[in-house]
Structure 1
Amino acid sequence: MKIYFTLDPRPDLKEPLVSEFPEIDFTFHKQLDESELADTDVLVTYGEDLNDHHIELSEQLKWIFVVSAGIEKMPAQKIAERGILVSNVRGIHKKPMAESIIAHILSLKRALPFVYKNQQNCEWNKKARLSELNGSTALIIGPGAIGAEIGRLLQAFEVYTIGLNRSGQPAPFMNETYRIDELKEQLPKAEIIISMLPSTKETKNLLSYEDFKLMRKDAIFMNFGRGDLVSLGELVRVLEDELIFHMVLDVYEVEPLPADHKLWKFDNVTVSPHFSSHSSRYVERSLEIFKPSLKKWLSGDHDVENKMDILRGY
């Protein structure tokens, strides 16, 4: 059996993997090489490097392990037609992403951008807008594994957490949980609104200018899920009209965000380059999911962890 990685883990991660599965023919590259696909049984990839042609070349391919949570850029229809199993690393992002989100919130609440700017200008200035995270309310749209970790950390700061999911069933570390179709009723309640939603037909352009009008004037809106939740045009309108206090964006409808885009010019937005999940431990945590799944696969059990419906996108 051949397992082809279109990424090249560090030696301290790669060598134990090869030793643990001596019966496997592992191939590691820093990027996809089409000549390796024909005899590949299992493909380990970030997903964005695949297209329809690659699936056609992969005549023996049975399983794609995606070292990412999102699969929206993969050739879903072609993969589904072939009946190829897809699983991902859902859940490994929760620690670094939750830390990034908490860091951004505390930075804004305690006026750290103001501090950094003053330091650069050698200016002693105490006229900052300071507030507390303690005692506020956060609305988490999509309280899955990452959302639950955000909720856990927020509750440590005595933040009241409200979750929105498809079912309305209770979610971990949420004080209340509602259905996502109750969004408009919940938006006015929160000082902090965090979207962790995946990209699906239902979530595309879910938020509009009118939804931002329902938010509090002192609200912080954060999108760390997928960029097609709200169009760039709508975001610009919201910022121009100062409907809310601040936005923190890690994902965008178009990536990379063009250098001449209006979004860069506003003071009431933080533009993060879609790297909140990055960590020196990213591949390490991915392999912690891959190894047990591979053992299952080799024993004939294809009910691997984080098995996905490629056409649904999750």
Structure 2
Amino acid sequence: MDVASGAARGHLLRDELLRRGLRLPQLRLLVALQDTGQVSGAAAQMSMTQPAASRLLSELERMVDARLYDRHARGVTLTPAGETLAARAREILYRLDQVQTEIAALTSGVHGLVRIGSVTGPAVDLILPLIRDLRIAYPEIELSVHVDTSDKLGEALLSRDLDFYIGRVMEGVDRRAIRLEPIGPEPVSLIVRNGHPLTRREDITLADCLHYDWIMQEEGGLLRRTARDYLLSHGYEQPKRILSTSSTLLTLAIISETNAIAPIATAASNFYASPSAFGGGIHRLKVAQDMVVDPYSLVLLRDHEASPAMLRVLDLLRQKIRRRYGGDGTLPATGDLIAPAT
């Protein structure tokens, strides 16, 4: 076989699915099926009837010569083959979405959508000032900011629903798929409402705090584990009464209306304690001031092709990290993270 015929055969192999009739609506439908877990839900996302969706999926199964999903009482579950194809389909659709952004950036300057994720502390400490500066430096760049726990942010990054996030990489994530730029540890503070009985006392202790209800993340949450381990390492048991919630808004609302105590990121506690936020109704207790969560990082996908807009945002963000935490990623003293507004 000569080189030319070998290259031609390789080209045919690469185009095999396209030659069999693969169409983009089939890839979109499979991704929608993975997201919804129901043929009817996927059909609704695609604005087609359920019979039409079933027909497209059947054609796709014949095309790849593999069963792509199994039906059950509550909907459908993708098979390993279906999961593999859906992952590749999501990548293809994402890259096609990026084409228009890249073309627009070449013809009319830098603009586009950049999707950022962050845990609570850096969201206040880094992302909030980033948003302010970005509106001045690059007003045409649109930001989407998702604040959540590191496990949820990791899932969103791997499914390419985020461009990058600031947080931690949880157990079970394939480290070969990601890139880390370490930033530093995240201090934690205990907050109460202004006027809480503990705000009228000097030299309070952790033992004093345990007489009150605590508002914490759900079991298994990193912030909850940090508070639990801190109490145990200092010889204290867990609070007897705990309300579990992952909602920062609900936590602040309960704190404002009751005598409960909550551990939250110090950067967030400083912001919420300022007169401009919640009327200055939140108070940070001067106890357990050395409590910190494990270090967090800037987390990116290793194979992600950054758009011009994403590169601009990352450059601004890295500048802020260097200015705020120093070139080695070391955090400043706890009280220096964010000065209360005046």
* Bigger relative CO (Cα 8 Å, ≥ 6 apart): 2
Q: TM-score, normalised by structure 2?
A: 0.27
> How high is the TM-score relative to the length of structure 1?
0.29
Q: Which protein is richer in helix relative to its size?
A: 2
